[in-house]
Structure 1
């Protein structure tokens, strides 16, 4: 499913270091590059915690529905309920979070859901989803701290 985009666990430490160095080659002054922990932003969000997996699955499912017609409030509630049921099943079956994240990311990779529309739904869902620092990929926590002028440990 990944095509040419490799995950970290498929690369050697030297390949990772060279890749990150290349990405950060334009860093200067306040500009700093923060590199994904595992793969893509959407996958990383879903793989970080069950809270974010639930949020991202809801967003992807809503984006899939929106490909045909924009969901009204009732349809949105139906889609969220079905997504939550699947997440609850995966969690109760002890499905590894990384596998759940692959399931969640699949429609985005296969272009059956729009990444930009998924991002819109995710942003909307974030306003009503309480998060802790452990729900967010570490590189994003570091990026937010950098943006806010805090020095990460």
Structure 2
């Protein structure tokens, strides 16, 4: 089921939760910003962890669990997700800006694809999609914080956060 998500100056967001995971609640997270630029990855991971901490949940940036001083690949990140103690990994990716639909219909604005992966089941439990209303007109830190707020709001709206 797709639902719109309010907030962020009219930029739409959509939430999809796998029916098999609707009763699942998470309290500990691993945040992974899947960006080619290390500084941007760090900013998005830290912003998400800061927002999850503020909401009372544990979070570790992927760059802390699988540091860039070691080999970075899918296997090292997968191992980090299994050994981190986190219940779920949140993966943030930039939507492909080269698609015709993003260039024409999306007017070239950035969009983010977010996956919530249940670490025990190793399955995607939820996907969120967020358009960015103003993209590069704001600093990376402000963009990361705005997205982190929207991700936490989506987790709350879908009752995916364990309530203490």
**TM-score surpassing 0.5?**
no
Normalised to the residue count of structure 2, the TM-score between the two structures is 0.27
From the two aligned structures, give the one with the greater strand fraction: 2
Normalised to the residue count of structure 1, the TM-score between the two structures is 0.29
From the two aligned structures, give the one with the greater helix fraction: 1
Structure with bigger gyration radius = 1
